[in-house]
Amino acid sequence: MQHAPPSGAGDSAVIADILRTHRAIPGAMLPVLHAIQDRIGHIPPDAVPAIADGLNVSRAEVHGVLTYYHHFRQHPAAGRVIQVCRAEACQARGGAALAEHVQRTLGCGFHGSSPDGALTLEPVYCLGHCAVGPNIAIGDKLHARVTPARFDALLQAAGAPA
């Protein structure tokens, strides 16, 4: 998963451009949020009033959608993102124990970053390989049948500090 550079002064122009190109789409809120996160890497706080104004909705509505969906980040992610599937099929195959191990190993909870700032941990609610769970993604690479020991090996192979 590639991330955009950290947010800065150009964010307002990016957000305005996205609103201009997406506002006519029925149900534009989710496409707008996805586009902002794709371009900026997260949804910066100043995006909320801009989205509300651009889509003629309340700030509370934007905030509600932003916080309801776990996919959206409100802060920049680290250079590498690790996603752990939290869907039922993976949970039935040991996903809860894996999630606990991953959090202990990385030293952070979901939506957090490792103490060194190199890794961000995110929950995901299906990686699409339900029959071979539990699943994780490290960056863009999907891994199936992940045990705590296999996670440690994958992390080491990816060159990430554990």
17 lies in the same domain as 41: yes
Number of domains in the chain: 2
Q: Which pLDDT tens digit goes with each residue over 128-152?
A: 889 999 999 998 899 999 999 999 9
pTM for this one?
Answer: 0.67
Closest by CA to 4, choosing from 32, 51, 37, 27, is 37
145 lies in the same domain as 104: yes
**What gap in Å lies between CA 80 and CA 51, rounded to an integer?**
28
> Residue 130 belongs to a domain with what CATH number?
3.40.30.10
Torsion angle of the four alpha carbons 76, 49, 29, 6, in this order, in degrees rounded to the nearest 10: -20
Section 109-137 average pLDDT = 91
98 lies in the same domain as 148: yes
Residue that finishes a domain, picked among 68, 93, 115: 68
- The boundaries of the domain holding residue 58 are 11-68
Question: What are the tokens at 31?
Answer: 């496409």
